[in-house]
Amino acid sequence: MALFLSKELDNEARIYVWDITESEQELMDIGSIPNDEIEELSLISSEARRKEKLAVRALLNTIFEDKVYLGHHDNGKPFLKNSALEISISHSRRFVAIITHPSDDLGIDIESLDRDFSAVEAKALSEEEIEDLSTHKRTEQLAIYWCAKEAIYKRMSLTEVDFAEQIEIDRFKVREDGKLDATFYYKDGTEDEFELEYMLFENHVMVWLVG
């Protein structure tokens, strides 16, 4: 089994990261898979996508002693059908990341630094955020911006969010790990402020938010 990281936070949240080193069959063999997930897998043509789904199930089976069943709200937000824990899930080609908390809303996102983030700069950043970009570690900076906005989007559980206009990340310097301040602007003019955390590892960026 490839549990890469298990991290307990001060606010009762827990983060788990699975390194997808197994073959598709090996992931199938790790633990029992609910019938609805097997049916969903049969509809996915991409092996990489199937492996991501199977790695999520493998990680869930590792985290929980008893079988948990994963569902999704209409907006795609995941939830556990037979547990009161809040959950957020993200995956890249290599890693699956899950964060849980007993009661608080949360969000997590993980991305490979090999991804092309040019579209992020064009569509997801405000003019002020673009001005804050530097030539040094630009890819890492763009990845952190994107993961932070994705984590907030997942936490808010809303549809039709304008990442450039409604989610603002304060200026930051890229480090191996750190904190980010952010503001979410509702369309009615109200706003919420958040503090996120991030870490860089194995050529990936992971950002999470609790509360």
Q: Look up the pTM and report it.
A: 0.94
> Does residue 191 share a domain with residue 121?
yes
Same domain, 114 and 205: yes
Residues 63 and 138 in one domain: no
Whether residue 117 is found in the same domain as residue 83: no
Please state the domain count of the chain.
2
Residue 27 to residue 1: CA distance in whole angstroms? 9
Pick from 84, 103, 122: which residue ends a domain?
Answer: 103
Q: Are 102 and 92 in contact (CB under 8 A)?
A: no
- Asked if residue 93 and residue 149 are part of one domain, the reply reads no
Residue 1 pLDDT: 59
Last residue of a domain, one of 103, 135, 167: 103
| Pair (98, 9) in one structural domain | yes
For the chain, residues with pLDDT lower than 50 are none
Q: Is residue 91 domain-shared with residue 72, that is, in the same domain?
A: yes
Q: What is the pLDDT of residue 109?
A: 98
Residues 6+ positions from 141 with CB-CB distance below 8 Å: 133, 134, 174
> What pLDDT, in 10s, does the model give residues 134-189?
888 999 999 999 999 999 999 999 988 999 999 999 999 999 999 999 999 999 99
Task: Identify the domain containing residue 56 by its residue range.
Answer: 3-103
Radius of gyration for the chain, computed over Cα atoms and rounded to the nearest angstrom: 17
For residues 14 and 193, give the distance between their C-alpha atoms in angstroms, rounded to a whole number: 22
